[in-house]
């Protein structure tokens, strides 16, 4: 019987500060926040925590500053049993931070200072062959430089590792990166921005899949919020419905989805539909709690929720 999935995450590490407001301010307007809270976050860190809490053996590749926030984040990842040996300490740039405005409906606006995340170079990849050896998946996002992701994905392919690209926040992709990407997982707006095809119906989503397949990406997952997740693979396509819940804070919903998915997928992606159901359920639990990393559920909680009818 196969042991737990081995997942490597290359990505961002941020300290999130959330300002709780009734509504978002208008341009030029000053409003009062009801409260303020801080928590560990960053798309990469959130995805790694989601993977490990769902049972994956997880390693992280990234960078923090030589500051209090960096020490705080390293401890937070260690406490979640994530291998942090390949997180560099940058003496010249601060740890990434995010300022989040959260309204009464659970919607958010996020401003990010990249810091050590954006200053990352391929030097961070020194020695990562030891974690890629035997790994099942390598995940990356767009809060760190694409040049680093491309170099990491090339190494991953040399080691037979399946690569998952979460192109968020979306912007132009280095064309060569797609040729080393096995799975791409944008949301609908990110997908439209990358392909120029508005995500409106099944036909447009299949056209999006064709766009990526022509560029070397065989598997497309489009998260559609309350509508669920559309998937297209060489074996077929379909829509996995979302679980209907009342959202309190959507900050780490997409990150939970990606990390939880990586913990459940088989190497050949033959169980993609079942893995998507699990990932959707994990994400639905995350949005019902406050904070990014603190809200990410464990496998036991996800399985218990799945058992409910």
In a domain, 270, yes or no: yes
Q: Are the beta carbons of 293 and 41 closer than 8 angstroms? A: yes
> CB atoms < 10 A from the CB of 161, how many?
24
In a domain, 21, yes or no: no
In a domain, 294, yes or no: yes
Q: Which domain holds residue 245?
A: 6-12+43-64+127-307
> So what's the pLDDT on residue 36?
94
pLDDT of 309 higher than 70: no
DSSP 165: E
Q: List residues with catalytic annotation.
A: 255
Q: What is the average pLDDT across 290-309?
A: 89
Q: Looking at the 3D structure of the chain, how many domains does it have?
A: 1
3-state secondary structure of 171: coil
> So what's the pLDDT on residue 10?
98
In a domain, 262, yes or no: yes
> So what's the pLDDT on residue 87?
98
In a domain, 242, yes or no: yes
pLDDT of 1 higher than 80: no
| Phi-psi category of residue 16: left, alpha or beta, with phi > 0 → left and psi -120 to 50 → alpha | beta
In a domain, 120, yes or no: no
Pairing of strands 162-166, 183-184: parallel
> So what's the pLDDT on residue 60?
98
Please indicate if the annotation marks 52 as binding a ligand. Answer: no
pLDDT tens-place string over residues 141-172: 999 999 999 999 999 999 999 999 999 988 89
In a domain, 285, yes or no: yes
- In this prediction, residue 294 has a pLDDT band, given cuts at 50, 70 and 90, of confident
Mean pLDDT rounded to a whole number for the chain: 94
pLDDT tens-place string over residues 231-278: 999 999 999 999 999 888 787 899 999 999 999 999 889 999 999 999
Among the residue ranges 106-110, 136-140, 252-256, the one predicted with the least confidence is 106-110
Please indicate if the annotation marks 286 as binding a ligand. Answer: yes
Please indicate if the annotation marks 5 as binding a ligand. Answer: no
> So what's the pLDDT on residue 32?
96
Q: Are the beta carbons of 242 and 282 closer than 8 angstroms? A: no
> CB atoms < 10 A from the CB of 287, how many?
19
Please indicate if the annotation marks 228 as binding a ligand. Answer: yes
pTM score, whole prediction: 0.92
Q: pLDDT above 90 covers what percent of the chain?
A: 84
In a domain, 59, yes or no: yes
For residue 215, what is the domain's CATH number?
3.40.1190.20
Give the neighbor-by-neighbor strand order of the sheet with 14-20: 35-41, 14-20, 96-102, 108-113
């Amino acid at each position: 019987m196969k042991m737990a999935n081995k997942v490597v995450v290359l990505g961002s590490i941020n300290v999130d500060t959330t300002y709780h407001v009734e509504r978002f301010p208008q341009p030029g307007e000053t409003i009062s926040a009801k409260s303020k809270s801080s928590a560990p976050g960053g798309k990469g860190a959130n995805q790694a925590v989601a993977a490990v809490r769902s049972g994956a053996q997880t390693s992280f590749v990234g960078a923090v500053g030589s500051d209090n926030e960096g020490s705080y984040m390293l401890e937070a990842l260690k406490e979640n049993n994530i291998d942090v040996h390949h997180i560099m300490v940058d003496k010249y740039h601060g740890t990434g931070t995010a300022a989040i405005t959260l309204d009464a409906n659970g919607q958010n606006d996020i401003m990010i200072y990249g810091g050590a995340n954006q200053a990352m170079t391929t030097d961070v990849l020194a020695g990562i062959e030891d974690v890629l050896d035997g790994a099942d998946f390598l995940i990356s996002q767009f809060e760190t430089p694409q040049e680093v992701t491309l170099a990491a994905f090339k190494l991953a392919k040399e080691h037979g590792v399946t690569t998952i690209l979460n192109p968020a926040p979306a912007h132009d992709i280095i064309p060569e990166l797609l040729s080393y990407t096995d799975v791409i997982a944008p949301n609908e707006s990110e997908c439209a921005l990358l392909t120029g095809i508005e995500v409106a119906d099944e036909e447009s989503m299949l056209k999006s899949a064709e766009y990526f397949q022509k560029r070397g990406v065989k598997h497309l997952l489009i998260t559609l919020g309350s509508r669920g997740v559309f998937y297209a693979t060489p074996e077929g396509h379909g829509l996995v419905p979302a679980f209907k819940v009342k959202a309190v804070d959507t900050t780490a919903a997409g990150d939970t989805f990606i990390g939880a998915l990586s913990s459940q997928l088989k190497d050949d992606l033959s169980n993609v539909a079942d893995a998507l159901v699990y990932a959707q359920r994990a994400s639905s639990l995350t949005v019902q709690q406050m904070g990014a990393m603190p809200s990410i559920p464990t496998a036991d909680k996800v399985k218990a929720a799945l058992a409910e009818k």
